[in-house]
A and B are shown apart, each in its own frame.
Chain A
């Protein structure tokens, strides 16, 4: 029997980026807020100080900062006809854990989606006709527009001190920025980071091929920065230990370096770490959340009553908690009914590795930051005419090589033996003179009727709860998209002067062991129709109005960008709606 704790105004499930943003906004409103976090408290000087944060074995290979699969995991299959099996070692993406969540280990690539990405279904249908889209593609509009959330993109970028070059200021295209981006109300808070040699060489080659390269927007500081909350960040040292690592130098935007120092000083904020929420409780009507139940590390069960529940865990666990709590109708792909688990997506990543004459090129790949990079956006979203290509979607591409870490960075030309003296010689010969962008082509992943999440019928976690099950595979549209983009990308790498370009296309079936990105999205998507979305345009549950669901689980499909900028902007947008609309008149903010 759970022990009941004193009531709070707000309980937040998961203290990552969106949980921290909501906690700060709602405590500013004067509400008494508690955040419950599954993992440990994390602090730079204690958990990833600069004297050992650059430990590739510890953080990259052994997953120091991530969830441990024996705490909880999920099951996976490609097709509905298969039996899913539990994942015992993370591969295709990295479920975060602990205070700061994915904001601790991210690369800090801080993109905005294109205006057309928010109205994707409408836009593509208008431009190409409904029959151009695959029959089983289930893309939707977000229910908000770029213009709706532009002010909130701006707030997140100024919170983070994002470094970048604006490409569109209030409709005026700016030299050196991304000409395809939506209009931004003001420049980035910091100038773009200085780009190392291979990145500038990529930009030169791209420019000569007629593209418009620009620096990747970066949450790594190009100079000292003080954000609007008064929290300070220091300049990035280009150490090359960013993604998968915490930043010990206060140089990467994270909840720790932008929000938490202010939040922890507030008397109306409490955090409980190492406590896992097991369900969202509702009253007898099922229409009102009464709080959450969680377990601590001793296995003790507690009930935290609250008037407002903010679900801000990682995509998979947001969806799993909704299913376990019986909130919203579970998605049924056969009947094509229900919403929870619907439109699950990931990303379509590929690479092209360039090998250069070592006598002429020394790239010093270890000089890098998490969001370093020169990119082009000509092939993202609907920035180009897809009519002749037979697919929709796209992605940015660029030399975005974030590191030369010794265990991972061993690019060798095709045909090199996999081990032994010849392999060692090839690694030595190519380490400094190869270009290995990693996520060189960062493509979209649109949604399909048979790509979804539900509860596994067989496997349970340590508490006896069914694991989340994902059913996911690549569809022809994404594979065609990737082949086209990878070829365009390889042309630029070739134009940089590479004597050999190894094109590493993304191929089906979807492989859960191969890392792509941690950008799994959907499953509790936002929209305008309660029959096809779990939450409304303010991220409010259609079924339980005092529950708001943050994060990329709300994306109806994934665009060709990193999701953090957009999910954080949506969190600020939702917080604004809670502060200025919901609290004045608690109840549904949209009447469908």
Chain B
């Protein structure tokens, strides 16, 4: 978060400069209206059911439903971006405040091209660059499903961004830079499961929206796809097959168990991923989850190596003592925890992420793991921020990242101080 003021200034200069250019270059890159049409009577069960499945795959509820409120898809939830907050719009069929009066073509243009109903542009917090991989039929199935949701009257003013980011026209430049239209095209040289996984990851499931590093303007760094990114006070870890920080040591079954139940032999989901599992992946079919895992296991990581910090390093010595004292009761002296209950820190790649934000957040603030039908226990990690000072948190974090044959850069007390500062303004 320290880089935010710099990023903002850089972004301001670039955005304002490019707005003019964009108007000059602009041409309509949109697609023609979908040829597929919904059944007029709205009673095509197969289409509605397909839409429900796709709405879950696309995790529409993740933004458009507000947790704790019993009004699905009524919008109003603040979506945090590096540029400020956006409020998720109401996508219930309410004709005035929702999307009830929208035509199918307007809905499709919003989902797959990032276009507002009357010609403006959406911000890519709406992951239309991913949803563009879906077909028109699929998008209209989603629409058919949303039409069955209870309409809720809830007027949402989505754009809460500060100047200059509140200028929607700037998205024309952004689209030129980062948006490639076009439906998913299977790679004939790959097996069906791989292609299904690629479609889900790159399309509706929009994994990269959190897990892919971004440019200063918030566009995906395609060359580093799925290698991990800091978001909303967490670090969405590397989910390539990287041996150190990614999924290299996980089997396909490990990944499927994690996405389906929120827990596996190594770790447990918390934070934004817990929400994703609750709303989306825990409802996906085993075949789809296996497909996702198959694709992720085929993504190359960075495979750069970091030297292990020696056990004699003063931070490692202190960290080992703190670990034995306050961590080992659950996570065990050997770092192997208890499968599906207490994370095995020795085997958890996310612990070794380049950015230790999630590790520090969990140590400082504690965390509750996700509860699912298959894994209802939802054990929680207590907060240690009140008990351990910055030096001690840094030492134990450094130890956890470098014990048991692991290797990751040391964590400094300064990083812990900064993590405390940025977390102070955040709710759990």
Contact = CB atoms under 8 A, between A and B. Distances in A.
Interface of A: 43-46, 49-52, 224, 226, 229-235, 237, 239, 248-250, 257, 261-262, 265
Nearest to B386: A51
5 contacts: A43-B380, A230-B377, A232-B375, A234-B342, A261-B378
B376 A224 contact: no
Contact of B341 (A43, A234, A239, A262): A234
A328 to B, nearest CB: 38
A45 B341 contact: no
B380 A51 contact: no
B263 to A, nearest CB: 9
B6 interface: no
Contacts of A265: 371, 373, 376
Contacts of A51: 326, 382, 384, 387
A235 B338 contact: yes
A50 B330 CA distance: 9
Contacts of B329: 50, 237, 239, 248-249
B368 interface: yes
B330 A230 contact: no
Interface residues of B, number: 24
Contact of B338 (A50, A234, A239, A257): A234
A235 B374 CA distance: 21
B339 interface: yes
Nearest to B382: A49
A44 B378 contact: no
B376 A261 contact: yes
Contacts of B378: 261
Contacts of A45: 366, 368, 379-382
Contact of A249 (B330, B340, B373, B377): B330
A230 B374 contact: yes
A232 B382 CA distance: 18
Contacts of B339: 224
A49 B382 CA distance: 6
Nearest to A49: B382
Contacts of B382: 45-46, 49-51, 248
Given A239-B329, A249-B330, A231 B380 contact: no
B383 to A, nearest CB: 8
Contacts of A232: 338, 340-341, 375, 377, 379
B323 to A, nearest CB: 13
Interface string B350-373: 000000000000000010100101
Contacts of B374: 230
B274 to A, nearest CB: 14
Contacts of B384: 51
Contact of A231 (B326, B368, B376): B376
A132 B12 CA distance: 97
A54 B338 CA distance: 21
B58 to A, nearest CB: 24
Given A224-B341, A232-B338, A239-B329, 6 more contacts: A45-B382, A50-B330, A234-B330, A235-B338, A261-B377, A265-B373
Contacts of B377: 230-232, 250, 257, 261
Contacts of B380: 43-46
Contacts of B342: 234
Interface string B312-336: 0000000000000010011000000
The 10 A-B pairs with the shortest beta carbon distances in the complex, nearest first, are A49-B382, A45-B380, A261-B376, A232-B377, A234-B338, A232-B341, A45-B382, A237-B329, A224-B338, A262-B376
Nearest to B378: A261
